[in-house]
Structure 1
Amino acid sequence: MTETQESRRQGRVLPVTDLSLVVLIGASGSGKSTFARRHFKPTEVISSDFCRGLVSDDENDQSATRDAFDVLHYIAGKRLAAGRRTVVDATSVQQDARRHLVDLAKQYDVLPIAIVLDVPEEVCAERNAARTDRADMPRRVIQRHIRELRRSLRQLEREGFRKVHILRGVEDVENATVSTEKRFNDLTHLTGPFDIIGDIHGCATELESLLGKLGYADGVHPDGRQAVFVGDLVDRGPDSPGVLRRVMSMVRSGNALCVPGNHENKYGRHLKGRKVQHTHGLAETIEQMADETEEFRAEVRDFIDGLVSHYVLDGGRLVVCHAGLPEKYHGRTSGRVRSHALYGETTGETDEFGLPVRYPWAEDYRGRAAVVYGHTPVPEATWLNNTICLDTGVVFGGKLTALRWPERELVDVPAERVWYEPAKPLRAEAPGGHDGRPLDLADVHGRRIVETRYDGQRRISIREENAAAALEVMSRFAVDPRLLPYLPPTMAPTATSRVEGYLEHPAEAFAQYAEDGVARVVCEEKHMGSRAVALVCRDAETAR
């Protein structure tokens, strides 16, 4: 037996991604339905014959084909939207039929995978003749299917299929096995604890200081914690090679994970010989890397090339990416997802500094997973709707910030100096919101979610009507909310009295306090009405 015959006898293993659109391609009678039943769950498979029967009560009624495929695409779309692998059992030998399916995969940001059953014409004809519902199928139909199939084999990847498995002959088909593989971004089995580190931009000294403060020694944490870098390791700062060397070493040893930033993406294209503009700090990185060996530059190129757009971690409770990611893209795989993870979205406008205005996706975020990202420098890392930006502008003279997960504790170190003058001030001079801009109605308008540090009630929803009432009180009577470290509480009321004519009764109030474990109660006369909080400052300069 030859080596080829032995490998065919053992059978090929076809890796198929867990969330994908699998398209079976083959002539009528090639064994697609049998293959689907053998390798996939019944609920994963959508057959064009079955859909034809749904709309016409006859699986062979070719006049119902258009409506049948409308149903097939609709069901497939619903499954893909729900994050479920879907297998299409149809001939799909025509490019136009495949184009609709590839477009469907792109719409829901999943991988389209082709499995081709290239079976001889005689075998297909014999099988159809043995079926009562297809015994009268003209031979020319099978011949046309096979001609169209053979014309398609070389162009499937160009059509958009990310994986193409071609099984040639009956033996190949019968001996093949399907192996389900996880998406590269699915690391839900890793539960941490993690230390997620914001944009570094070549600030190697600050990175080493932060790692030391987090408890790492030479890139290793004694308690087994794992660092996660949100990208933008390079450009603008004084030592991009030093940052790359440290991060690559930690990733290689399993002590860290890293997602790509837009700056790595651009530098990676430069290393591949692509034409890119040497702007936004890239020139500094190229100059610094010129002193490194060709071997190191090749390692950096391969490292950047292998970075995955985002990671889903800790059982789906944590998503790490560079520029933020709406929930509909979590765990998805497409060019659109990668682009959003690298660059985010813009409104199409530019601000007064000539920079693109970022679309505030985090303000609308209501997802279950916490999204940790960087990309857009902010003075302070703060939670907003279960998202947090860790880019605190270390290269611009700010600080380098890390988030401990699951503790949700922030750890930072200050920049040694301003390494690169920002196009836009890191802190605006205007008083107001957490990022230095004036307070905006959108900050408190509508339903909001407040993040707290308490495990039992970490997320608190604020209804729109309650937010409106609070806004009215704050806007009339309060100073800048950042200057209110203390809000005096009112006395917690006791239960409504059971004594006729009393809202509250002293005897019942004392009994309630005693039951709650309060041993001593101080009683004072209470005057209903307004309260005021006095903000006392050391001097006039502090007050300003």
Structure 2
Amino acid sequence: MSDDPTSQAATPEAFALLHHLVGVRLRAGLLTVVDATNVQPDARRQLVAVAREHDVLPVAIVLDVPEDVAQARNAARPDRGFGTHVVRRQAQQLRRSVRGLAREGFRTVHVLDGVAAVEAAEVVRVPLRNDLRGVTGPFDVVGDVHGCRAELETLLGRLGYVLVRDAEGRPVDATHPEGRRAVFVGDLVDRGPDSPGVLRLVMGMVEAGHALCVSGNHEAKLVRALAGRQVSTSHGLAETLAQLAAEPPEFRERVRAFCDRLVAHYVLDEGRLVVAHAGLKEAYHGRASGRVRSFALFGDTTGETDEYGLPVRLPWAEDYRGSATVLYGHTPTPALTWVNDTLCLDTGCVFGGRLSALRYPEREAVQVTAERVWCDPVRPFPRAEPTDGAPVVVGRSGAPGGGPDGDVVRGAPDRLRLDDVAGRRVVETRLMGRVSLRPEDAVGALEVMSRFALDPRVLLHLPPTMSPCATAREGDLLEHPREAFAQYAHDGVADVVCEEKHMGSRAVVLVCRDATVAAARFALPAGATGAVWTRTGRAFWQDAARTQALVDTVASAVAAAGAWDDLLADGDDAWLLLDCELLPWSAKAGELLRTQYAAVGAAARAVLPAAVDALAAAGDRGLDVSELLTRTRRRADDAERFTAAYRRYVWDVDGLDGVRLAPFQVLAAGSRTFTDRDHLWHLGVADRLVAADASGVLLGTRRLVVRTGDPASVAEGTAWWQALTDDGGEGMVVKPLANLVRGPRGLVQPGVKVRGREYLRIVYGPEYTSHLPRLRQRSLGRKRSLALREYALGVEALERYVAGAPLWRVHEAVFGVLALESAPVDPRL
């Protein structure tokens, strides 16, 4: 802050910067040490205020050395220029401060008395009591028990725990043969028939290391009551106190001490799981302060009460964007509902609902129905229907359950926010790490997503762009198979598969086996069992009946081929996502064909033949127009070739009559993605669907496997491509046979396209072969990078979705693909 290190004039700016940097580090959760004299109360007050602002505990380390030592050391540093009176004053201020540091807000004070104590001291970091990141589970997180001991015993049994009973037959512990640990979200007591019995069991489990428990607001209130403080005995506390009065005094003291020691929340499993009674927003994870504890016990309240006299709570989970899963209770809800990777496990057992637990990391819910209504709720609460006694295991990763025994659903409040996608964004991906999105690219994607795209709950994937192969350098070809084979050989890929490239439009097809899954999981309208969309997320057709007819066709083929059983894991919802090509091109691009391609072709064919005739007549009259005539004839021939090129991909369709759908990859199904399956497996599934399709709509994809290091195999692949393109085909896509491949230089291109000479007229114009030297200067680097990043984002979206990630996390990856499509690339591509 100054060129003079001894300048006191820079002090205000220096300490303003210090406090800013302290705040930056504390927000990031980093250990922060402020080394300054700090002997004046105001200097310490500002640091304590910064600590409180970020909900961390300030610790004071006092270096209390004799004044003569300080004076001697100061005298040995002439560059400082401090007089002895400064050191004397600081020593006096320090000694006046020591006794009051705890009152100022320092949670812990270490006084190192003398030089020897300072030199011998060792700093050891002690985690907060709520920091159990090293405890990785597996866990069984149990919702609010509220004195329902019998239901708790039944639930623990269904979870696989073995109860341990004392001499009087009372449960005092529970162990799991697989070493699982229970985690209770608080509110063990009040309202129910046997709060002492619940406490006896849970305390025993915690003391034996078989369980963890956080405090609920009812435990906090019970502690105050047992300590003799004046509290309201409403909401079941009176009943708990009466039940405890029948217990021995030592048991009541044990209960008081146990509940008083409970922390407000735990951070578990390397920070991936947070358990708090009423939930906890991300900024409070692993923090410690009064407001953190209040939020964990009571939630985010407004201070108002509703018509039932209950606190009005803000829906913190709807805005949650943290990376940790948050499990909580406190507010009873009839059904378990995932909202942004948070789940409330209080399903109102004491009110006649269910007692719920979530197996973690499996994310499977287990429930038991209340034996009866133990307490009449202030707010109406639906009583649960009794079950047949079998374990009720419902849902997976937030997927909807299948029956009346307690569904686990994706929450309808799983809303998106503008700041989920706007501005500069960085999306973490498994395949490529951090993928950056520019603000200006996000603007264009936001326009498409908000005005034209399907509902984000449906739109779980967008296909990536595909790079062409390296440019051919000789002859009249711009692209040649040998360049693709050489590229993959250079990347260490020994085997590739060449797939016929259908000239249609890319189509992602979602198929659900029934309308229940379609509505619950994807929010599709009544009667719809799927969707079909384009590379930009728009519905392929606006005609809902036509779309449903295509979805029904695919669903029938999937069922007839027996593919559901092969693709789904046990307990999965029956849905399937396919990557396809939909033909003809005119089925989607009809307007483009009429206004651009047909218009160019018609104008050229109307003008150029007449020009040829006129020039030929002029030549017959002796004018030297031979060069112009040759060029015009070539242009006329090019126009005919151009028209023939696009006409191959145009034919009339009526409903599905004339429509062809060529599936070539299974993107996801139920709880699975399939990037670990090679392309022959994917094409084999497609072949089964085509064979099982009775309508003739589904179309197969021809393919050929090529060994990149075998000249004979490369020649065979080249000849195959030549035959495809000579026959009017677009060309082929070359992919690593193994599918997702990492080479010596990182992720390998998932596919490169090699297009035929005549097809490229559609891309570059009728006369493009006259401009090959300029086109061959095209730069592929940015396009290849774009293809890899979009591919990584596409895979990331699918993997997040099947893992049960909240909508915003899936959508940021999908949105990222569309944003990258707005990035500029070489126009020659």
> 1:486/1:386 Cα in 2 relative to 1: closer, same or farther (>3 Å)?
farther
Q: Distance in 1 between matches of 2:457 and 2:94?
A: 68
Q: Distance in 2 between matches of 1:285 and 1:90?
A: 52
> 1:262/1:130 Cα in 2 relative to 1: closer, same or farther (>3 Å)?
same
> 1:165/1:504 Cα in 2 relative to 1: closer, same or farther (>3 Å)?
farther
For residue 529 of structure 2, what is the aligned residue in structure 1?
488
- 1:71 aligned to which of 7, 13, 17: 17
1:192 equivalent in alignment to 2:192: no
Equivalence map 1:149-160=2 (5 Å): 149-160=94-105
Q: What letter matches 1:65 in structure 2?
A: T
Q: What letter matches 2:137 in structure 1?
A: G
Q: Distance in 1 between matches of 2:219 and 2:186?
A: 7
- 1:81 aligned to which of 9, 27, 32: 27
1:317 equivalent in alignment to 2:279: no
Q: What letter matches 1:230 in structure 2?
A: V
1:130 equivalent in alignment to 2:76: yes
Q: What letter matches 1:419 in structure 2?
A: W
For residue 247 of structure 1, what is the aligned residue in structure 2?
202
1:501 equivalent in alignment to 2:647: yes
Shift of 1:215: 0.8
1:215 equivalent in alignment to 2:386: no
> 1:376/1:169 Cα in 2 relative to 1: closer, same or farther (>3 Å)?
same
Deviates more, 1:501-510 or 1:109-118: 501-510
> 1:423/1:507 Cα in 2 relative to 1: closer, same or farther (>3 Å)?
closer
For residue 47 of structure 1, what is the aligned residue in structure 2?
none
Q: What letter matches 2:188 in structure 1?
A: L
SS in 2 for 1:311: strand
For residue 34 of structure 1, what is the aligned residue in structure 2?
none
* Contact preservation (8 Å) 1:204, 1:243: yes
Q: What letter matches 1:501 in structure 2?
A: R
For residue 398 of structure 1, what is the aligned residue in structure 2?
353
Q: Distance in 2 between matches of 1:176 and 1:269?
A: 39
Q: Distance in 1 between matches of 2:16 and 2:87?
A: 24
SS in 1 for 2:175: coil
Equivalence map 1:395-544=2 (5 Å): 395-427=350-382, 446=417, 465=450, 470=455, 481=519, 487-489=528-530, 490=551, 491=554, 493-494=580-581, 500-503=646-649, 515-517=683-685, 518-519=687-688, 520-524=691-695
Q: Distance in 2 between matches of 1:96 and 1:509?
A: 74
Q: Distance in 1 between matches of 2:659 and 2:191?
A: 71
Shift of 1:141: 1.1
Deviations along 1:68-115, one digit per CA (max 9) or x if unpaired, are: 110110111111111111111111111111000000000111110000
- 2:44 aligned to which of 98, 105, 113: 98
Q: Distance in 2 between matches of 1:350 and 1:225?
A: 40
Q: Which structure's CA Rg is the greater one?
A: 2
Q: What letter matches 1:318 in structure 2?
A: L
Equivalence map 1:379-390=2 (5 Å): 379-390=334-345
- 1:273 aligned to which of 228, 235, 238: 228
Q: What letter matches 1:63 in structure 2?
A: A
* Contact preservation (8 Å) 1:444, 1:471: no
Q: Distance in 2 between matches of 1:170 and 1:74?
A: 32
SS in 2 for 1:419: coil
Shift of 1:142: 1.2
Shift of 1:468: 8.4
For residue 29 of structure 1, what is the aligned residue in structure 2?
none
SS in 1 for 2:146: coil
Q: What letter matches 1:114 in structure 2?
A: A
Q: Distance in 1 between matches of 2:21 and 2:664?
A: 59
For residue 202 of structure 1, what is the aligned residue in structure 2?
147
Structure 1 residue runs without a partner (length 5+): 1-54, 450-454, 457-461, 527-544
SS in 1 for 2:256: helix
For residue 771 of structure 2, what is the aligned residue in structure 1?
none
Shift of 1:349: 3.3
For residue 344 of structure 1, what is the aligned residue in structure 2?
299
Shift of 1:342: 0.7
Q: What letter matches 1:190 in structure 2?
A: V
Deviates more, 1:170-179 or 1:159-168: 170-179
> 1:141/1:510 Cα in 2 relative to 1: closer, same or farther (>3 Å)?
closer
Deviations along 1:363-395, one digit per CA (max 9) or x if unpaired, are: 001111000000000001111100000000101
Shift of 1:524: 2.2
Q: Distance in 2 between matches of 1:330 and 1:320?
A: 10
> 1:64/1:511 Cα in 2 relative to 1: closer, same or farther (>3 Å)?
closer
Q: Distance in 1 between matches of 2:82 and 2:419?
A: 62
* Contact preservation (8 Å) 1:402, 1:411: yes
Q: Distance in 1 between matches of 2:311 and 2:148?
A: 25
For residue 217 of structure 2, what is the aligned residue in structure 1?
262
| TM-score using structure 2 length | 0.51
Shift of 1:241: 0.2
> 1:116/1:416 Cα in 2 relative to 1: closer, same or farther (>3 Å)?
same
Identity of aligned residues (%): 54
Deviations along 1:187-209, one digit per CA (max 9) or x if unpaired, are: 11111111000000001111001
Q: Distance in 2 between matches of 1:277 and 1:393?
A: 22
Q: Distance in 2 between matches of 1:204 and 1:512?
A: 55
For residue 143 of structure 1, what is the aligned residue in structure 2?
88
Q: Distance in 2 between matches of 1:368 and 1:495?
A: 38
Deviates more, 1:60-69 or 1:245-254: 60-69
Q: Distance in 2 between matches of 1:116 and 1:94?
A: 13
- 1:297 aligned to which of 237, 252, 272: 252
For residue 172 of structure 1, what is the aligned residue in structure 2?
117
> 1:84/1:302 Cα in 2 relative to 1: closer, same or farther (>3 Å)?
same
Q: Distance in 1 between matches of 2:229 and 2:334?
A: 34
* Contact preservation (8 Å) 1:200, 1:395: yes
* Contact preservation (8 Å) 1:445, 1:467: no
* Contact preservation (8 Å) 2:145, 2:350: yes
- 1:283 aligned to which of 218, 238, 249: 238
Structure 2 residue runs without a partner (length 5+): 164-173, 384-399, 421-429, 432-444, 459-514, 531-550, 555-577, 586-644, 652-657, 666-679, 698-829
| TM-score using structure 1 length | 0.76
Q: Distance in 1 between matches of 2:664 and 2:294?
A: 59
Q: Distance in 2 between matches of 1:164 and 1:87?
A: 14
Shift of 1:441: 9.2
Q: Distance in 1 between matches of 2:452 and 2:354?
A: 33
Q: Distance in 1 between matches of 2:659 and 2:153?
A: 63
For residue 306 of structure 1, what is the aligned residue in structure 2?
261
For residue 701 of structure 2, what is the aligned residue in structure 1?
none
Deviations along 1:413-454, one digit per CA (max 9) or x if unpaired, are: 0111111111101249xxxx9999xxx9966565799xxxxx
